[in-house]
Amino acid sequence: MRILFSVQGRYGERVAENVRKNGPGDWESSVLRLPARLPMVIDDPEEFLPSPIPPADLLVSLHETPGAAELIPDIARGCGAKAVLAAVDDRTALPAGLENQIRRRLSAMGVAHAFPRPLCGFDGGPDSRLSEFAAHFGRPKFRVEREGDRVASVEVLRDAPCGSAKFVASVLAGVRIGEAPDTGALRHHHHPCLASMEIDPDLQDTILHLSGYIVRAAIRAALKE
């Protein structure tokens, strides 16, 4: 599978690098670097996009401003992607109204899409390319080995796209079983998580906190198995 990562800064670069290093050997990845500053409304997308855009089956948009998010359909058209995975890690970068507009444009193009909030909450679908990505990167999954009342080792079955699940797994050995979920959620923020600390109006909480809840729940699920 060919993946194009659309990035604006170190957040996107880190995700792209983690997937490149740790994804399946037959995946081909390329990076489209957008300007850090873009207009809120873009009249001429070609002014900000290279020609040609690297071809891809899946576009992963790691936008950090509304201007970059607005370019998602144009990038998808330019690279020929049949599916788009667009991170919702900061509502200021992708307001709900803009997300709805982009969804409508992608649907009209016949492009499958997913807008996970946050990106590490992605579980796959509604397209085989999205599910293939989610088989390796998305909502974290762990396998925990115990030794008495402590964690002996942790295996990452599915990493977060940014690599935070592997980081959490690396610091849990020796932690008491009962403390492992909370310790993992705390250490997850030390990676550091780059999800927003602004209150999301729909969640009435921050996306950063939601990301921590996801890690905590993944560890609890592993401990029950």
State whether CATH 3.30.450 applies to domain 2-134. no
As assigned by CATH, the class of the 141-224 domain is alpha beta
pLDDT < 50: residue spans in the chain: none
Output the pLDDT for position 43.
Answer: 86
pLDDT of residue 187: 87
* CA distances to 72, 76, 81, 223 from 104, in Å: 12, 14, 16, 41
Q: Tell me, what's the pLDDT at 41?
A: 81
> Distance between the two ends of the chain, CA-based, in angstroms?
32
Cα torsion 86, 92, 93, 97: sign: positive
CA angle in degrees (0–180, nearest 5) for 136-139-144: 85
Q: What residue segments make up the domains of the chain, in order of their start?
A: 2-134, 141-224
Measure the CA angle with vertex 111, ends 109 and 113; round to 5°.
135
